[in-house]
Chains A and B, each alone.
Chain A
């Protein structure tokens, strides 16, 4: 039996951009946490310093994609249709975590919410809602 974390980590390792960001995932039961260790190449504002807003958006997008692969199993990578990102606090030079919640999966579209945080889960630094085009591996009843 192949470990779902290994297979997702292997899929992530094949994506050059995931390696560029440096993200990985942790799976506890069916609960996935995406982890983005801090790296200086992620800084957008060098004065504060703060993680680039685009990096946080990209990280949450990848979190949603990984969650869809884990929960739904996809014949191919889901495609992003739209995302709406809310920035709540500036991203400090620390490890960032994110968790995704799949709100609905239809035959073609999935709706996913993601929250990213650093020191405190209860004080998220950013949130995202998005729609994704999905191609499930087996037809849903």
Chain B
């Protein structure tokens, strides 16, 4: 189990660095353990959603929560599996404070054969005073046989 977590720590760092969008947001994994994952996006003026207040766009929080929930799934598994987000529900409680980094803490609380369930909060200072909360479901073994460049091929009619 801890070997899996060690491997996953390396994997999530590679996943952040290999994901252009995570890199564009300067997203990084702060911690990864059996409780789940904590990720951070530093405050950046290019990510402002409301120019009148300087508050970061809700979309940044959405991307951070999606990414954090995905990494939390890997902490809930005992071996590596490909995953895909099925649905993501986000409640926005309050605007993030301008100038502050945003964190997301995600916990995978149930894994079945095909689906993993995750809860997460996004916060700036205190996880008990969240900016947003999320609930997500992920499909496991989402892309069997879909290798490198699968999305570059023509989509089969279905």
Contact with A along B119-130 (1 / 0, CB 8 A): 000000000000
* Complex: A121 Cα to B67 Cα, angstroms: 27
Residues from 1 to 60 in A contacting B, C-beta threshold 8 Å = 14-21, 40-55, 57-59
CB proximity of B51 to chain A, nearest CB, Å: 5
Contact indicator A17/B46 (Cβ below 8 Å): yes
In-complex Cβ contact of A43 among B21, B62, B143 (8 A)? B21
Residues from 54 to 82 in A contacting B, C-beta threshold 8 Å = 54-55, 57-59, 61-62, 76-77, 79-82
Specify which chain A residues have a CB less than 8 angstroms from the CB of B11 in the assembled complex: none
Contact indicator A45/B19 (Cβ below 8 Å): yes
In-complex Cβ contact of A86 among B22, B47, B58, B87 (8 A)? B87
Residues from 66 to 105 in A contacting B, C-beta threshold 8 Å = 76-77, 79-87, 90, 92-93
Contact indicator B21/A16 (Cβ below 8 Å): no
* Complex: A57 Cα to B147 Cα, angstroms: 25
Contact indicator B86/A87 (Cβ below 8 Å): yes
Indicate if B88 sits at the interface (CB-CB under 8 A): yes
Contact indicator A52/B155 (Cβ below 8 Å): no
Given known contacts A17-B59, A41-B20, A48 and B151 CB-to-CB distance under 8 angstroms: yes
Indicate if B64 sits at the interface (CB-CB under 8 A): yes
- Listed A/B pairs (22) with beta-carbon separation below 8 Å: A15-B48, A15-B49, A16-B48, A16-B51, A17-B49, A20-B24, A41-B24, A44-B19, A47-B147, A48-B146, A48-B148, A49-B149, A52-B67, A54-B65, A58-B59, A61-B58, A61-B62, A83-B89, A85-B88, A90-B151, A92-B151, A92-B152
